[in-house]
Amino acid sequence: MPKRLVDVFDGSGAKLFTYTIALEEEACFDAEFEEVALIFAERSGLVTETEISHLTARCEDAPVPESAQPARPVHTKRNVLSLIKHRMNKATRASVAQAKRHA
């Protein structure tokens, strides 16, 4: 189970949260870890509705771009594919089905 530290930033670039994200799939992209961190930040209740669309996330151990290299774009919630939401929905459906079997 891969784990990554992910920082979440507000619209001005100030760090708000750092999450340790663990995903079940072995071959996960940085964007998947970053999307989970954005979802956690959104659900934390510590960010206002208007700030949510401006949140960005970046994996801590991602290489820091050098001045000679083009900067790596920070993933925002709007431009990240929702692979993780699909996996979270799948896990939720499985746990509901399991609860019904045990009831």
**3 state SS of 99:** helix
Task: Identify which of 26, 45, 44 has the alpha carbon closest to the alpha carbon of residue 36.
Answer: 44
Residue 84 has what pLDDT?
63
The strand order across the sheet containing 75-76 reads 15-22, 3-9, 56-59, 75-76
Q: Where are the beta strands (DSSP E) in 1-103?
A: 3-9, 15-22, 56-59, 75-76
**3 state SS of 46:** coil
The model's pLDDT over 13-36, given as tens digits with 9 standing for 90+, comes to: 899 999 999 888 888 888 889 999
The model's pLDDT over 35-86, given as tens digits with 9 standing for 90+, comes to: 999 999 999 988 888 898 899 999 987 544 444 344 555 555 544 445 566 6
Residue 79 has what pLDDT?
44
- The amino acid at residue 30 is D
Flag whether pLDDT at 87 surpasses 70.
no
